[in-house]
Amino acid sequence: MKTVHVLYGKDGIDLRVPDDTQVLKGEDATPLPEPDRAVARCLENPIGTPPLRELVRNRKPETVAITISDITRPVPNKAFLPGILSALNDAGVDDSQIVIIIGTGMHRPSTPDERELLLGAIESRVEVDDHIADSPDTLATVSEDPPVRINRRFAEADFRIVTGLIEPHFMAGFSGGRKGVCPALVDLQTIRRFHGYTTLNHPHVDNGVLDDNPCHEISLQVARAVGVDFLFNVAITPDRRLAGIYCGDLEQAHAAGCGEVARWTTVEIDKPFDFVVTCGGGFPLDETFYQTVKGMVSAIPALHKKSTLLTVSNCGEGLGSPEYAELMLQWDNDWKGFLRELASRPDQTHKDQWEFQMQAKVLQLIGQNNLWLVSDGIDPETQQHIAVNPILGGAGAGERAQSAIDEFISADLYAPMAVIPDGPYTMIRRRK
C-alpha cells in the first residue's frame, strides 16, 4: 500500500491505496524566484500592450478600478497587488483614486475575515467594494442586445484592470481572463445566460476547451463590450505561490497563460478506472458542496458506466447559497426529474441550477449509488437528499474515506483504481 495526500479543507487528508493505483496529478509548477521582482518585470514587459506605467501616464485617469476574485479562489493577491499599486502610483495615480472591486458574481459579499485573507494591509490603502449582482442601483448598462449590465464602478472607471487566477474550469475551459468580468461583475440576467441550460448542454463546455465553447464566448463578448485596459493573471503552485504571470492584453495574455497551465495540469490516461478518488480542491474551494461539483465533473474522463467515484470535500459552509440549498432539497435526489424540468423550460434559468445540471452529468454516467461523498461539513440528514451516496458514520472524514476505499478493495482487490489528489485542478484526457 502507498499513501496519497488529497486536498481536503485546509490540511488535507492522507489515504492508503494499493501500490498499483494510478495517481493522476499534473506536473508540479515551480514557484517564481523573487516574486516581487517577477511582478515588476512582467508589468514592464506585458504581453500585447505597452507597460502598465506607460499606459496610465498616457491615459491620465482620474479613477482606476481593479477587480479581484472572491474568497472561493485561492488567488495570492498580496503577492502582486502591491506591485500593481506601485506602478499606478509611479504613473501619477494616488491610492485615493483607486477602488478594488471583489468580483463575487452571484456569491455572497465578503466577510471582514475574508477581506483580510484576500487583501491584508492593502485594504487600508484603497477603497474596497463587493460586487452585488442583484443590486440595480450599482449596475450600468453596457449592451442592449443582448442585455448586459455590469458593476457601475468598474464600467465607469477611467482605467480598468482585471486580475485573477488561470486554472482548469469545468464549464469555461479555463478560469481567468474574461471571467474576471463575466460572471464576476455582471448582473443576474447575464449570469443566467452564461450558465443557461442550453449553454451547458453544449459538448464543448468542458475543462481545457476554449474553441467553440459557448461559456467562453459569452464571457469574452461581455468583457470586450465593457473594455479591459490591462489584465494581470497568475498561475500558482500547489502551495499557492506564484508560478506564472500573464499580463497585458486581455486575450493575448490569457491565451499565453492557458497554454502553460494546460501543460502543467493535463494528465493522459489510456482507459477509465473502476474506482476513482477525487476531491473538492481543498480550502477555499471546498467550503461548499456547490463548488465541490467541479471535482466530480472533472473526473468524468476517468470514469466508465460502472465506475465508483469517491469525492472527499469539507463543505464547511454547507451546501452553498440559500437558493442552491433549496433547489437540491426540493428535488430530493430526483435528478432525472430535475433534468426533465430544465428541458421543458430551456429559456428560464433559476439561480444556481447550473451546478445541479453539471452534477447530473456525472449521475447520467455512473448513477447516484456509485457517486460516493465523504464530508464533515454537511449534516448527515442533508447528505441523504443531494443526489449522492453519502459515506456516513461517527468517524472523521479521513477515516470514513479510508474505510470506503478498504471496503471496495476487499470486494475487488484487482480493480483498476486512480486517485486525483488535486481534484478540479487536474485536467484528465484520454489518449487517442
- Mind spelling out the 3-state secondary structure of 283-315? CCHHHCHHHHHHHHHHCHHHEEEEEEEEEECCC
Asked whether the predicted pLDDT for residue 375 surpasses 90, the reply is yes
Q: Are strands 168-169 and 173-174 parallel, antiparallel or unpaired?
A: antiparallel
The mean pLDDT value for 283-291 works out to 95
The sign one gets for the Cα dihedral 315, 316, 321, 324 is: positive
- Which amino acid type is present at position 20? D
Q: For residue 350, how many C-alpha atoms fall within 13 Å in the half-sphere facing its CB?
A: 15
The mean pLDDT value for 73-81 works out to 94
Asked whether the predicted pLDDT for residue 35 surpasses 90, the reply is yes
Better-scored residue on pLDDT, 333 or 413: 333
Residue 288's alpha-carbon distances to 72, 111, 162, 313, 377, in angstroms, are 9, 16, 25, 8, 8
Q: What was the pLDDT predicted at 350? A: 83
Q: What was the pLDDT predicted at 59? A: 96
Question: Residue 93 — pLDDT band, cuts 50, 70, 90?
Answer: very high
The mean pLDDT value for 63-73 works out to 94
Q: What was the pLDDT predicted at 329? A: 97
Q: What was the pLDDT predicted at 188? A: 85
**CA atoms of 156 and 22, how far apart (whole Å):** 51
Asked whether the predicted pLDDT for residue 337 surpasses 90, the reply is yes
Q: What was the pLDDT predicted at 108? A: 87
pLDDT tens per residue, range 235-283: 999 888 999 999 999 999 999 999 999 999 999 999 999 999 999 999 9
Q: Under CATH, to which class is 2-25+266-430 assigned?
A: alpha beta
Q: Under CATH, to which class is 35-248 assigned?
A: alpha beta
**Distant-in-sequence, close-in-space partners of 149: CB < 8 Å, separation ≥ 6:** 136, 139, 140, 141, 142, 186, 187, 189, 190
Asked whether the predicted pLDDT for residue 346 surpasses 90, the reply is no
Q: What was the pLDDT predicted at 357? A: 96
The mean pLDDT value for 326-349 works out to 94
Q: What was the pLDDT predicted at 414? A: 85
Equal CATH topology for 2-25+266-430 and 35-248: no
pLDDT tens per residue, range 167-206: 999 999 999 999 999 999 999 888 888 888 888 999 999 9
Asked whether the predicted pLDDT for residue 4 surpasses 90, the reply is yes
The mean pLDDT value for 88-96 works out to 98
Question: Residue 323 — pLDDT band, cuts 50, 70, 90?
Answer: very high
Please give the model's pTM, rounded to 2 decimal places: 0.92
- Which amino acid type is present at position 262? A
Q: What was the pLDDT predicted at 157? A: 98
**CA atoms of 68 and 79, how far apart (whole Å):** 13
Least confident segment among 117-131, 189-203, 328-342: 189-203
pLDDT tens per residue, range 127-166: 999 999 888 999 999 988 888 999 999 999 999 999 999 9
Q: Calculate the average pLDDT of the chain.
A: 95
Which sequence spans correspond to the domains of the chain? 2-25+266-430, 35-248
Using alpha carbons, select from 20, 14, 5, 73 the residue that is nearest to residue 421.
Answer: 5
